[in-house]
Every structure is written in C-alpha cells, then in structure tokens.
Amino acid sequence: MKKHPLILILALLFVSMPFAQADHHEGEEEETALEEQMSGANKAWRSIRRQIKDPAKNASTLALVAKVKASFTNAVDMTPMLAEERSGEDKEKFVAGFQKAMKRTIGLVGDLEKALKAGDNAKAEEIVAKLNDSRKKGHERFKPEDDD
Ligand code: HEM
C-alpha cells in the first residue's frame, strides 16, 4: 500500500462516488419540477425588485419579467408537493386552487409588462407590491412551511 498511495486514493474515490450520486438523486434534496420553475422566477424577481424604480432599466426589467412569466406559465400545469399528501376531491380542490392563484399571478405579471411598456414606473411599483402579496399568500396556502 505504501508504494501506491495514488491507487488507494483513486480506489476510495471510485467506491464513494456512486453513494454521492445516489444521495443526490434519491435524497430529500431533490428539486421538484415546480421548485425548479420557482427558483428560476425568484432569481429574475430579485433583480426586478431592485431596479423597478429606474426607467432607464425598463428594457432590462421587461426581459426579466418575460422570464418570470415563462416560469409561471410552466408552473400552472404542475402539482405542488403538498397536494401529494391529499387524495380524491380534496386533492383536486387543492390543485384547482393553486392553478387559479397561479393564473391570477400571471395576469399581474402581464399588467406589470404593460405598465413598463408604457413607461409608468409608479404603477409598475404598485404591481410589484401586489405580486409580492400573491407570493406570500400563495406560499402560505400551497407551499410547505420549512423552506422558502
Ligand atoms: C413573485 C412570485 C413568486 C416567487 C418569487 C416565488 C418563489 C419561490 C421560491 C424561491 C420557492 C422555493 C423553491 C425551492 O425550494 O427550490 C417557491 C416554492 C413554491 N412556490 Fe413560489 N414564488 C412566487 C409565487 C408563488 C405563487 C403565486 C404560488 C401559488 C399560487 C407559489 C407556490 C409555490 C409552491 C407550491 C412552492 C413549493 C414547490 C412545490 O410544491 O413543489 N409561488 N416559490
């Protein structure tokens, strides 16, 4: 063994690698399809909030808004993980409620687009506040409490 420390290290790496992979694919930290869309929207959302007041950045803000819209349009057809704890009519109602709230949110994103295109940053700011409210309420109703 003394003569081949590199071989030992490589062997250890080789043996531990499948475990690391199994952890990633089967562990609790696997991202749901909905989480993926939400994370994408969140990144753009943070920048939107930072620059919403600045009319000089409206073209860039509009590009970010388009990203949020695309993510939420994908999200509408997805099932929140909390729905899986329910069944039958209860589950259907939960999913329908989620879809309704998500569609309403997409409507607000459309309003935000219009305000920015019209160069009305004061109105755009108001809509951002409404969207923050939608996020808060949507998460209270449809998202597990332990992660944000
Ligand atoms: C500006 C609006 C919003 C932002 C920035 C946002 C952002 C996020 C973020 C960062 C997560 C956590 C993702 C992760 O753990 O990887 C999340 C999860 C989630 N969000 Fe939102 N969200 C918004 C609006 C909404 C709305 C309106 C609803 C419901 C109608 C909603 C429902 C959910 C649900 C259900 C989850 C948990 C994911 C799952 O069940 O698989 N979100 N969101």
Amino acid at site 59: A
Predicted confidence (pLDDT) per residue in 80-92, tens digit:
999 999 999 999 9
Token digits of residue 145: 């409490």
Taking only the tens place, the pLDDT of each residue in 20-76 is 554 444 456 789 999 999 999 999 999 999 999 999 999 999 999 999 999 999 999
Query: Ligand 1 pocket: which of 31, 38, 112 to mutate (most atoms <8 Å of CB)?
Result: 38
Q: Give the rounded percent of residues in the chain with a pLDDT score beyond 90.
A: 77
How many separate domains does the chain show? 2
62 and 16 share a domain? no
pLDDT higher than threshold 60 for residue 19: no
27 C-alpha vs ligand 1 centroid, how far in Å? 21
Residues 11 and 83 in one domain: no
Q: Based on the domain organization, do 95 and 127 belong to the same domain?
A: yes
| Between 36 and 8, the higher pLDDT residue | 36
Q: With a cut of 70, say whether residue 15 has pLDDT above it.
A: no
SS3 per-residue string spanning the chain: CCCCHHHHHHHHHHHHHHHHHHHHHHCCCCCCHHHHHHHHHHHHHHHHHHHCCCHHHHHHHHHHHHHHHHHHHHHCCCCCHHHHHCCHHHHHHHHHHHHHHHHHHHHHHHHHHHHHHCCCHHHHHHHHHHHHHHHHHHHHHHCCCCCC
Q: Are both 78 and 105 inside the same structural domain?
A: yes
> pLDDT tens-digit profile of 130-141?
999 999 999 999
